[in-house]
Amino acid sequence: MKLNRGQDEAIKHGNGPCMVLAPPGSGKTLIVTERTRYLIEESGVRPDQILVITFTRYAAREMKERFERLTAGKNYPVTFGTFHSIFYGILKCAYGIGANNLMSEKESSVLLQEVLDQTNIESTPEVEDEEELVRELLREVGMVKNGLCHLKDFHSKYLTQDEFAEVFRSYEHQKKELKKFDFDDMLVQCYALFRKKPEILQGWQKRFQYILIDEFQDINRVQYEVIRMLAAPRYNLFVVGDDDQSIYGFRGAKPELMLYMKQEFPSLRTISLTVNYRSTEFITGAAARVILHNDTRFYKRVQSFRGRGQNVHVQEVLDEQEEAQYVTEEIQKKLDQGIKPGEIAVLFRAAVQARMISEILSEHRIPFEMRDYVTNFYRHFIVKDMMAYLQLAAGKRDRSLFLTICNRPLRYLARNSMENRQVNFEDLRKFYCDKDWMLDIIDQFDVDVRMMKNMAPYAAIQYIRKKIGYDDFLKEYAEKHQISWKQLMDVMAELEERSKNFKSYDEWEIHIAKYTQELEEQQAKARKIKGERENKVQLMTIHSAKGLEFEDVFVIHANEGEIPHQKAEKKDEIEEERRLFYVALTRAKNNLCISYITQKNGNSIKPSRFVEELLGQRIK
The CATH number for 137's domain is 1.10.10.160
pLDDT tens column, 9-24: 999 999 999 999 999 9
Structural domain includes residue 278? no
Distance CA 343, CA 538 (A): 8
Contact 22, 273 (CB under 8 A): yes
493 and 383 in a common domain: yes
* Confidence grade of residue 127 (pLDDT, cut at 50, 70, 90): low
Structural domain includes residue 478? yes
Residue 545: the pLDDT is 92
* Confidence grade of residue 106 (pLDDT, cut at 50, 70, 90): confident
566 and 583 in a common domain: yes
Average pLDDT score, the chain: 88
Residue type, 270: T
Structural domain includes residue 69? yes
262 and 170 in a common domain: no
pLDDT tens column, 602-620: 789 999 999 999 998 777 6
* Confidence grade of residue 155 (pLDDT, cut at 50, 70, 90): confident
* Confidence grade of residue 149 (pLDDT, cut at 50, 70, 90): confident
Query: Residue 12 is part of a domain; what is its CATH number?
Result: 3.40.50.300
Instruction: Judge whether residue 125 has pLDDT over 80.
Output: no
Instruction: Judge whether residue 128 has pLDDT over 60.
Output: no
Distance CA 223, CA 146 (A): 7
548 and 502 in a common domain: no
Instruction: Judge whether residue 158 has pLDDT over 80.
Output: no
Residues comprising the chain, all counted:
620
* Confidence grade of residue 585 (pLDDT, cut at 50, 70, 90): very high
Structural domain includes residue 395? yes
Q: Which whole number is the average pLDDT over 542-554? A: 94
Q: Spell out the residues 6+ positions from residue 125 whose beta carbon is closer than 8 angstroms to its own.
A: 133, 136, 157, 158, 159
Structural domain includes residue 558? yes
Share of the chain above pLDDT 70, in %: 96
* Confidence grade of residue 574 (pLDDT, cut at 50, 70, 90): very high
Instruction: Name the domain boundary from 137, 164, 180.
Output: 180
Structural domain includes residue 174? yes
Model's pTM, two decimal places?
0.78
Instruction: Name the domain boundary from 455, 476, 507.
Output: 507
40 and 140 in a common domain: no
421 and 350 in a common domain: no
* Confidence grade of residue 523 (pLDDT, cut at 50, 70, 90): low
Structural domain includes residue 333? yes
Instruction: Name the domain boundary from 443, 472, 507.
Output: 507
Q: Spell out the residues 6+ positions from residue 478 whose beta carbon is closer than 8 angstroms to its own.
A: 484, 485, 488
Structural domain includes residue 518? no
Residue 212: the pLDDT is 97
Q: Which whole number is the average pLDDT over 267-296? A: 95
Lowest model confidence (mean pLDDT) among 72-76, 99-103, 196-200, 436-440: 99-103
Shortest CA distance to 593 belongs to which of 309, 330, 290, 335? 330
Residue 379: the pLDDT is 80
Distance CA 156, CA 152 (A): 11
Domain limits at 449? Answer: 379-507
DSSP-derived pairing of the beta strands 344-348 and 537-541:
parallel
Query: Residue 483 is part of a domain; what is its CATH number?
Result: 1.10.486.10
Domain count, the chain: 4
392 and 320 in a common domain: no
Roughly how many angstroms between the first and final C-alpha of the chain, as a whole number?
49
439 and 420 in a common domain: yes
pLDDT tens column, 481-510: 777 788 788 888 888 888 888 888 888 888
499 and 606 in a common domain: no
Q: Phi and psi (nearest 5°) for 571?
A: -60, -45
* Confidence grade of residue 197 (pLDDT, cut at 50, 70, 90): very high
Share of the chain above pLDDT 90, in %: 51
Shortest CA distance to 558 belongs to which of 604, 594, 529? 594
Shortest CA distance to 292 belongs to which of 527, 23, 614, 8? 614
* Confidence grade of residue 538 (pLDDT, cut at 50, 70, 90): very high
Residue 110: the pLDDT is 86
73 and 209 in a common domain: yes
Distance CA 423, CA 431 (A): 12
405 and 481 in a common domain: yes
Instruction: Judge whether residue 375 has pLDDT over 80.
Output: no
